[in-house]
Amino acid sequence: MVLEILFEDDYYIAINKPAGLLVHKTKLAKDEVPVFAMQLLRDQIGQWVYPLHRIDRPTSGVLLFAKSPEAAALLQPEFATTNIKKYYLTVVRGIPAEDHFIIDHPLKKDLDGALQDCKTEFWKLSETEIPFASTPKYPTSRYSLLKAYPHTGRMHQIRRHLAHARHYIIGDSSHGENKQNRFFREQFDSNNMLLHASKLIFIHPVCKAEITISAPIPDYFQKILLDIYLDL
């Protein structure tokens, strides 16, 4: 697998991570023998790389690495602040009432953990109603394309916030709706979660320039947009 490089200089390199690819080895994958984005990129460019953040395994999109521990130390702390902006695209069940809205429902760190403050901002980019019944209750089905900006960085924050609002992400097997996921598999041969890290913006710690890195959506994501008449 050859990774698509979106940005590279002497200090940092960004790729368009494919869905299904782990950033690096984790305890959850200890019984598997998969390849990892960090390993693939290291072999592709012939040098060690250091991940600055993570995106979920089923999520595609911008993933930024440092080329040295020193470069990582300069930028990694910024990911815990609002100085770095990460934007996502997602297809969800239903049509939100507002074109722009915020969800600030607190989330637990884990099943037994304390609630943590968190905030996600959303913009509705387009909406659709298609003549297919995803449930027996209604003769049509409605979906939306949203842009999301997480102000905080909790685990699965966008996925959990949208589940709380009952605008489930299509293809999300952990926080989504099984009947919607099954409908998309059967009607559109869609097996991927429709969540894509589309843009990352940061101030370069060395040259002090604002860097914007954008990742084109995967072909399967584009196909769904066409199949259900959603405009990007």
- What is the rounded distance in angstroms from the CA atom of residue 154 to the CA atom of residue 73? 21
- What is the rounded distance in angstroms from the CA atom of residue 151 to the CA atom of residue 107? 14
Query: Which SS3 state, helix, strand or coil, does residue 215 take?
Result: coil
- Here the CATH number for the domain that contains residue 207 is 3.30.2350.10
C-alpha 217, offset from chain centre? 11
Within-domain flag for 33: yes
Within-domain flag for 197: yes
- Residue 29: the pLDDT is 58
Q: Which helix (H) or strand (E) holds 195?
A: strand 195-203
CA-nearest of 118, 94, 89 to 196 is: 89
Within-domain flag for 51: yes
Residues 153-187 as b or e (16 or more Cβ within 10 Å = b) = ebeebbbbbbbebebbbbbbeebbbeebbebbeee
Tell me how many domains the chain contains: 1
Tens digit of each residue's pLDDT, the chain (232 residues): 899 999 999 999 999 999 999 998 766 655 565 789 999 999 999 999 999 999 999 999 999 999 999 999 999 999 988 899 999 999 999 999 999 999 999 998 765 678 889 999 999 999 999 998 887 888 899 999 999 999 998 889 999 999 999 999 999 999 999 999 999 999 999 999 999 999 999 999 999 999 999 999 999 999 999 999 999 9
- What is the rounded distance in angstroms from the CA atom of residue 90 to the CA atom of residue 139? 24
Within-domain flag for 232: no
Structural domain that includes position 130:
4-227
Residues with catalytic roles: 56
